[in-house]
Structure 1
Amino acid sequence: MKRHHVPGIPYMLGLTILSFILFTYEFNSRFKDYIRFEKDFDLKVMILIILNISMLVLFFQTADYHRFGGLYTYIFVTLMTIYLTFRLICFITHKISKSIGILKTLIIWGLIITYYSYRFHTYIYSSCENWKKGLSVGLDETNIELCKIPDDIQICPFELTDGYLDLSKHFRMFQCEYQEIRPDYITTYYKTEKPYIGHPLSKNFNYEQRWFDTFYYEIINNSKGYDTLEEALVNHEVIVDTKNSKMITSVLRNETLVKERQQTMEKSNKLRGDLQQNLMIVFIDTLSRQRLHKKLPETAKYLKGQNHKEFFRLHSLIGRTQENAVSILYGKTLEDFVHEPAYGQDDRKFKGPLEEKWESIFEEFKKQGFITGHTANNCETNLFFQNDFFDQYLKNSAPDHENLSPMCDPHIKDYLSGDMDFRSSFASTRRCIYNKDSFEYVFEYTRQFFSAYKTENKMLFMTFMDMHEGTSEVINYLDKPLALFLKEMEDENTAVFMFSDHGFHMGGIRKDLAGRQQEIELYNSFMIMNNMLGLTEQQERMLNFNQQKLLTHVHVYNFFKFWASGVDPNDQMSMISTLPHDKDTCTFIGQTCFCQNFFNGGKYQIIQ
């Protein structure tokens, strides 16, 4: 427990509350003496004590395993603030009533309370004003054939509670600029004292090494120490510089790979027509369409000024990543895994292991001559918990370049401490590694990937986990950097495809308070295409029309497949084709379909 950012939480929290009770008891006794006897000395003593606590808050905000830091001081002061506010109201009322009488005092307080009640009431009932707005147009609710997204909410708790749980804003110990670099981590985990440590190329791992439960250990155990940076750069794309406490990323251009793909790329380009050379996919976990506009205002502002398409009814199959990721990467749903439709988890009969396992979308792009890449601020291959069950059906094959290992570094994934709430890819605070936000490494690798293969067709999948935590505040720190990065990467030969898997689902006070709003947003993912050029007139027209249609992540997979090959699948799950009635798509989704105007019975899409 000594390695926690905030050690001994139950013990120290109890002690803090106890000290607050004792302090307020003493303060209350002295305050009564002051009111009764006007003993100035006692009041001055209490003022000095309060000032002293305030100084502790301002100047003692760091925490490590040697000391508790300022967190408990903040808890103490929060309790004191509530108490003192109450005492101040009593004191002011007492003083005013002496001068103007109790009746006039009550009238004044009544006017004050009425004013702030009106302001508060207006604030609450205007909280959902932007809930149905988009970048350029809003949600179409006039067409009765479209899925009717539930609108039975008048208050949006997500908006009302936004900003109050931002721990990184208030505590210096959670700010990347003040992150403590731990030299003992290097020797404990990497087991080397050499100044440069090269992470292994995870694209060379076998399937078992790429499992969720083993991937982290394989990265750490297969890392290698070097005496010089030049030696490390020969065979590694991620190097830890222990002397300067920083992490270096580098994309190694593969000339052999370029030659292998060249001929295929030339054939593919003939079928692809005027479709662009590059596709940059931006995946943000746990971000609903509504939260995109609230949590990423700078990014939304940037996209609004671009050639964009926003899809309003991208519906998650399940309110978690796993099933949606299977659809995104493989185009499969529960029905592909079982012998017959399953209406509950108990009556599913799974098919046996497949002789020909399903290939991911990365393989589809490779077949069309693309150089492929994946970079993420999460220590995990694929987008779900890959294990022996899924290995029976899916190939967890790596792209040509894979940058996942930075998030396996013990400074952000210290499995011995168990303090995931404060230091991990799922932390409720900024995800810091070597004094930088973890998403900065995703940006840097993307820049280098595009620079290394300037003239080749390429697809890069970027994964951001910054919304995947209980406060929904960490993503605030991604907004402006992401907007600046997208502007920096603007290129007529590069299309941008941004989307999510589902809405906010992490447990905690934000979810508990949100109620019905959270239930609706859970299944309303966001999807935006930017600078998508080279489509035929018919394809452009269908995409524009389908922005209001009910879609699933199978549609996303099919669009990726089309974009890689230029071949229109021309089926009912293609966004560049005429889609079926939303009622039919709702039936395909099954029990989780939130359309109020359609029956949502049938199958339940959970796979495992």
Structure 2
Amino acid sequence: MYCQPESQNIKASVDGGGVLRVACESGDKDVFVDVLPETRQWPLKDKDMWHVFNHLILKKVVRIPYSSSRPFVLNETTQAVVVRCGSSSTIVTRVSPSLAKLPVFVPPSDSDTRLASNSASAQKPERFNTSRVAQMRLERPNVVYLMLDAVSRRQFYRRLPRSAQVLKTLHRPGNHRLFELYRYHSVGFSTDNNTKAAYLGEIYPSRLNPLPIWAYYRDRGYVTARIEGSCHDWAKELVGNNFDSQDYSIGNRSLDYELASPFCLPEYYPNVGNAYGNFKGPYSITARCLYGRYVHDWAFDYLYQLRREFRKHHAKKLEHQKDVRPYMITTSFLEGHEGTGEVLRTLDDSLAAFIESMRDSGELDDTVLIVCADHGLHMGLNFAFLQNGRIEHQNPFFAMSVPEWLHEFSETYQTEYGSEKVSPFVANEQRLMTPFETHHTFRVLADWPEFETDSWKRSLFAAQRAGRTCEEAGVGAKYCMCKIPAT
């Protein structure tokens, strides 16, 4: 459960001008830089999960000798390099181009999610503008979404005790509030149905070229970034067959920044044999390591850099009282996805530190932070033999921190327009919730300060009906663990 440190200490960093600087204990001799490809614009056909995506990444790696005597300048789109010093290696990531150089995305007219002609609905949806509520903030909130694959609510508390304790400290009335959904219910067996429900709003795409929720944000001026915790692309893997052309680049269409290539390196993700064995790869029952560190720590490095870049942009814009581009970041972690349930422990310190940094930086005053899972563990003895395991499998972890002003608006809207005069957050904590409500929560946040009233009613900001059945919530009968006795 531990990663063996590299034999040599390598110090490497990239400055604001894109110049890479390396200090190796043995000097410049035998120092090489592997420039990893930027995968955001790759077409779907190049992102097949196994024996395609990883092999293409390795094929496109460019190895260049390093010398401190001349500047080593990275291409502006390069997000990651591997510095190799003798038998030791390290990864250097950076967010590039800078947000100041990133143009506002203009979506193509044939797939612009803002246009009624591209909507699945035949009718123009009713909308609500938050300015109708006195003294309401109109600034659009940022969204940070951390998805923990295969982690039930109880497993979160068992294996991530430090993170669980830190998460509780996010409840600071007056600044931001934390809510946990105790009866959050998955809508299928695996990542497939549950993430499609959250990212698309439907399990079976009803239209060609279905765009994930981060495209919805980008169309509305958000800066979007995604970190894949394994060597795969969500869109290709789960909805790729619904596109009319495999030459389509959904990454370029829906993301400003993407980090995937480091997690396809053979030191972590085997390029021969079985990539999903018990002793190496993203389903390993031993620690997942890459160059002396946990794989998830490289993901957190990039996540911290994204936040610094975006917050720096916020600070500069606020000084001049200009519009601020909000951001939407999604990250997936696979440490919970293995039969023993023990690898998840390796994530605890890093996840807790990240949550603390969000809390202490003040970002939660204008950012919605969601930490959740798609489903519980469906591997191992507990799931195979015990009813408890099958219940946990359908009860994934879900917690959300919302800024105080968003909490106040939700309470006011529920009182004035809701059918039930209760706190929506308190009510929903003990009611049947699913990834479908998560999807509509995403949509409301992306549309702020004017949202579709139907999405609001189906989101976590509105009190969902008490005692609703699995069928009403979109959960198939064979997966339902919250049955209501007949009266």
TM-score by length of 1: 0.59
Match of 2:126 in 1: none
CA–CA distance in 2 between the matches of 1:255 and 1:578?
Answer: 37
Mapping of residues 18-37 of structure 1, within 5 Å: none
1:224 corresponding residue in structure 2: 62
For this pair of structures, how many residues does the alignment match? 391
- What is residue 485 of structure 1 aligned with on the other side? 354
Equivalent residue for 1:555? 437
Which protein has the bigger strand share?
2
Residue 248 of structure 1, aligned match among 82, 92, 113: 92
8 A Cα contact 2:149 2:336, kept in partner: yes
Structure 1 residues 29-68: aligned runs within 5 Å: none
Correspondent of 2:291 among 434, 456, 459: 434
Amino acid at match of 2:158: K
Aligned with residue 414 of structure 1, among 245, 270, 277: 270
Q: Deviations over 1:17-74 (max 9, x none)?
A: xxxxxxxxxxxxxxxxxxxxxxxxxxxxxxxxxxxxxxxxxxxxxxxxxxxxxxxxxx
Deviation (angstroms), 1:408: 0.5
**Paired residue for 2:384?**
512
Q: 1:364 to 1:231 in 2, by over 3 A?
A: same
Shift of 1:209: 1.3
- CA shift in 2, pair 1:531/1:255, >3 Å: closer
**Higher CA-based Rg:** 1
Please report how far the alpha carbon of residue 259 of structure 1 lies from its aligned counterpart in structure 2 after TM superposition.
4.0
3-state DSSP of counterpart to 1:280: strand
The CA distance in 2 between the partners of 1:577 and 1:396, in whole Å, is 35
| CA contact 2:469–2:484 (8 Å) conserved in 1 | no
The one-character-per-residue Cα deviations of 1:251-300 (angstroms, maximum 9, x if unpaired) are: 113457644259xxxxxx99794556422111100001111111111111
Deviation at 1:544?
2.9
Pick the aligned partner of 1:401 from 249, 253, 257: 257
Runs of at least 5 residues in structure 1 that lack an aligned partner in the other structure: 1-167, 169-174, 182-192, 263-268, 338-353, 600-608
Is 1:412–1:433's contact at 8 Å kept on the other side of the alignment?
yes
* Pair 1:381-2:233 in alignment: yes
Aligned 1:275-290 pairs, distance under 5 A: 277-290=141-154
TM-fit CA distance, 1:548:
1.6
Following superposition, the deviation at residue 396 of structure 1 comes to 7.1
Q: What are the residue-to-residue correspondences of 1:159-238 with 2, within 5 Å? A: 168=1, 175-178=2-5, 195-213=32-50, 214-228=52-66, 230-232=72-74, 234-238=76-80
Aligned partners of 1:241 and 1:536: how far apart in 2? 46
Equivalent pair of 1:313/1:548 in contact (CA under 8 Å): yes
1:65-464 to structure 2, matched below 5 A, reads: 168=1, 175-178=2-5, 195-213=32-50, 214-228=52-66, 230-232=72-74, 234-243=76-85, 244-254=88-98, 258-260=102-104, 273-274=137-138, 277-307=141-171, 308-334=178-204, 336-337=205-206, 354=207, 356-382=208-234, 385-386=237-238, 389-391=241-243, 397-398=250-251, 399-418=255-274, 420-454=277-311, 455=314, 456-464=325-333
Q: CA deviation at 1:393?
A: 10
Structure 1 residue 577, shift from structure 2 partner: 2.5
CA offsets, 1:294-323, max 9 Å, x none?
111111101112221001111111121001
Deviations 1:145-173 (Å, cap 9, x if unpaired)? Answer: xxxxxxxxxxxxxxxxxxxxxxx2xxxxx
Query: What code does the residue aligned with 1:311 have?
Result: L
| Contact 1:211/1:386, CA 8 A, preserved across alignment | no
Which structure has more helix as a fraction of its residues?
A: 1
Matches within 5 A, 1:566-577: 566=448, 567-571=450-454, 572-577=457-462
Unaligned runs of 5+ in 2: 9-29, 107-128, 172-177, 315-324, 412-422
Equivalent residue, structure 2, for 1:524: 395
Distance 1:428 1:396, change over 3 A: farther
% same residue: 21
CA RMSD of aligned residues (A): 3.0
Query: More relative contact order in 1 or in 2 (CA 8 Å, sep 6+)?
Result: 2
> Alpha-carbon deviation of 1:211?
2.8
Query: Is the contact between residue 197 and residue 232 of structure 1 (CA under 8 Å) also seen in structure 2?
Result: no
- Amino acid in the other structure paired with 1:450: R
Secondary structure of the structure 1 residue equivalent to 2:34 = strand
Q: Report whether the alignment pairs 1:589 with 2:471.
A: no
Aligned residue identity for 1:452: E
Number of the residue aligned with 1:499: 372
The whole-number CA distance in structure 1 between the counterparts of 2:241 and 2:308 is 38
